[in-house]
Amino acid sequence: MGVGQTLAAKYLGWHEVVMEIQGKLRDAASTSDMKRQMFRIQPFPQTLSTLIQSFETLVVPFSMDFGILWGMIYLNMKASFS
């Protein structure tokens, strides 16, 4: 498993991504541009979670694992602000 996959596996839900965004908003080291971007995307995880839940109800009885999606969102955030 690569480093990116290991990091992505750590963030399996929308709550973890929200906590990361809130952490960036509270961090004194965050620039004003970073805080502005984090504020703009703050509602995105919950909105995406609602979409995923709607999709999951459509494909019942099959189960889908969207955990890696949250990890990819986290890695994208990390890459854009590193």
Structure pTM?
0.72
73, HSE (Cβ side, Cα atoms, 13 Å)? 24
Q: How many residues does the chain have?
A: 82
Spatial distance between the Cα atoms of 31 and 40, rounded to a whole number of angstroms = 14
Give 25-64 pLDDT, tens digit per residue. 999 998 999 899 899 989 998 999 999 889 989 998 988 8
Eight-state DSSP code of residue 30:
S
Burial of 18 (0-12, 13-18, 19+ CB in 10 A): middle
What is the reported pLDDT for 9?
66
Q: What are phi and psi of 42, to 5 degrees?
A: -55, -40
